Chains A and B, each alone.
Chain A
């Protein structure tokens, strides 16, 4: 163990002298996290969408949409609502960019709903605000779904009876009860429940884990450097167990990774206001991330013939895994196949673990993600050690 620590110490000393390691481990991730936060941070702060309503109906169902649905959303600060005098005026507002979208409640809307005839809410969109238009469509769609649910409820109550035999007053009472059974539309902030990182923490963590894969390669790949510069023969001739040469390289990788991540966690907390979450949970995730990064880069190094070749391959792997794992954009929130595929990367698990902590989780919340990353480390590291063992074999 002593020889391995001496070799690791020598490697770390070399890395300190070689400024590129410092640049890659601390300076670049910190600077890029700052830049990303600067560019995308303000965009991530939600602003209320501006909508207009054209009520050509004036009936009860249209009034509920305007006052209960849009009015409630306006009270919560998600939207602003103004009234437009007609469809042409609404179109002009959308075309001028004065509003994100316009809801048009056509004449006869209430009557159509009550008679179970087709009824629709039109949405006129501002082409420069696709997100605002999407949200408007969703609101309209949700309201339509609520109306359909009410219709079904009424139909269920009246099942087997001839509608003509039901008194108008009873019918209206049933419809009112069905409509009151659910709130027409509920808007709420789901960031805590869905465990979404704030932008500062997201970019700090993303850049940290992305550059971690470049940082740890300095330790493992130096075995190939030693072979190229002839010092490996000297190490192998020394009275030390051969395994300590490989162990020294792995220790150096782990130390570099842990050091850089620790500095980045502290620096981004102090300088950017990143909220990493429970310190013990973060420590577990950092350890898991460093182990996984070391395993993956060691595996890549074991397949290469020279340190340069290993560096090239490791860079490609780091970028691909970083992109797929959501180090730059929150892939996990995209959903579908890509989100599932992202779980083959340690990056995705690292970000997922941090999101769990952001949702208020304790150290236990970080354990599944940590276990996944340790799994990566064990699988890739075992193959790497077997292959790299050949380099130090007599």
Chain B
């Protein structure tokens, strides 16, 4: 894990707000990222992560609030500030008829690199993302994982101070996902500030120095993983796959000693308990008396999933 060192944050967001018609997509979001720090925005789909990212990257204008990059105010019309940011959108944003090298060269030139600089950086990035041997092939012929790697590569071309990654592992096979996570870790170690959005709790725990938990457009908590898990009081999480009247069973479970919170999902129950192992026999007995058939039981140590459940009353996958 990298350590915050610079006094001027690589990114500072203050009171960001964005509305789409009647829907408030982002409501007063504020956070900072230091150089060398990886900051995760953790939240379910539709929580407002991509809208925050789009405002930070200058793609969207904020209705209210401000963004500054390395102390410089950022708006969609400030090219010099934009040049400090590497942006990797959630979709694979590449031109399929062009080769990998042509895609990289196009964006390198767009980011102001000279012809010679572009040639050199493109070669370096191709090596970094492991696509040097396929550089001449049209991107349309790449696998999903290769496209994802190239998608990230575009964001690295101009050696930005801040790299924004919007759910870069969505739809990626486990091997490619691991490679992507490893490369993000390496970038942060190299001193780059990283803003990383995900709804995968494991990724946030592995990569992020600090995590902001976002739900319904609002940042509901922020801190290191340790600080956040402390919020739920070091509680265990019991996940049960079950059949039957689960909402009724949840009501009964709330009366069981040691059970703090219960949430109901599709064919499953999630419980926060002070001591999961101790409470498990009584939980199972309660479910049996409620006529619920339990198919599997999983006991988990405190994690960000539990934090999210604790803070929002719902699962990250809801």
Binding site for B on A (CB under 8 A): 3, 6-7, 10, 13-14, 17-18, 229-231, 233-242, 394
Contact = CB atoms under 8 A, between A and B. Distances in A.
Given A10-B95, A234-B154, A240 B58 contact: no
Contact of B61 (A235, A238, A394): A394
Given A394-B60, A394-B61, A229 B77 contact: no
B102 interface: yes
A3 B106 CA distance: 10
Contacts of B77: 241-242, 394
B200 interface: no
Interface string B193-234: 000000000000000000000000000000000000000000
Contact of A18 (B61, B97, B107): B97
Nearest to A11: B95
Contact of B85 (A230, A233, A236, A237): A237
A239 B79 contact: yes
Nearest to A3: B110
A233 B76 CA distance: 12
B124 interface: no
Contacts of A17: 97-98, 138
B79 A241 contact: yes
A6 to B, nearest CB: 6
Contacts of A233: 54, 57, 59, 87, 89, 91, 93
B98 A240 contact: no
Interface in B86-117: 87, 89-98, 102, 106-107, 109-112
B110 A6 contact: yes
Given A3-B110, A17-B97, A233-B54, A239 B91 contact: no
B79 A231 contact: no
Contacts, number: 75
Given A238-B82, A239-B79, A394-B59, A6 B97 contact: no
A13 B106 CA distance: 11
B83 interface: yes
Given A13-B98, A14-B98, A242-B77, A237 B106 contact: no
Given A229-B96, A238-B110, A394-B58, 11 more contacts: A10-B95, A14-B97, A14-B98, A17-B97, A17-B98, A229-B93, A230-B92, A233-B89, A235-B110, A237-B58, A239-B79
Contacts of B23: none
Interface of B: 54, 57-61, 76-77, 79-83, 85, 87, 89-98, 102, 106-107, 109-112, 138, 154
A239 B72 CA distance: 14
Give the dominant DSSP class at B's interface: loop
A1 to B, nearest CB: 13
Nearest to A13: B98
Residue among B83, B85, B92, B106 with most chain A CB within 10 A: B106
Contacts of B92: 230
B80 A6 contact: no
B16 to A, nearest CB: 13
7 A-B pairs with least C-beta separation: A230-B91, A394-B76, A239-B79, A394-B61, A230-B93, A239-B83, A237-B87
A237 B97 contact: no
A394 B85 CA distance: 17
B161 to A, nearest CB: 13
Contacts of B57: 233, 237
B59 A237 contact: yes
Contacts of A237: 57-59, 82, 85, 87, 89
Contact of A231 (B81, B94, B109): B94
B111 A239 contact: yes
18 contacts: A6-B109, A10-B95, A14-B97, A17-B138, A229-B91, A229-B93, A230-B89, A231-B93, A231-B95, A233-B87, A233-B93, A234-B154, A237-B57, A237-B85, A237-B89, A238-B107, A238-B111, A394-B59
A14 B96 CA distance: 9
A240 B110 contact: yes
Contacts of B112: 239
Contacts of A236: 58-59, 76
Nearest to B75: A394
Contacts of B58: 236-237, 394
Nearest to A230: B91
B77 to A, nearest CB: 7
A240 B109 CA distance: 11
B79 A240 contact: yes
B106 A10 contact: yes
Residue among B61, B92, B110 with most chain A CB within 10 A: B110
A394 B18 CA distance: 12
Nearest to A14: B97
A384 B237 CA distance: 57
A233 B54 CA distance: 8
Given A6-B110, A233-B54, A394-B61, A239 B95 contact: no
A234 B95 contact: no
A10 B80 contact: no
B87 A234 contact: yes
Contacts of A241: 77, 79
Contacts of A18: 97
Contacts of B79: 239-241
Contacts of A6: 106, 109-110
A236 B106 CA distance: 14
Contacts of B80: 239
Nearest to B138: A17
A247 to B, nearest CB: 14
A6 B109 CA distance: 8
A230 to B, nearest CB: 3
Contacts of A229: 91, 93, 96
A71 B154 CA distance: 83
Contacts of A235: 110
B19 to A, nearest CB: 14
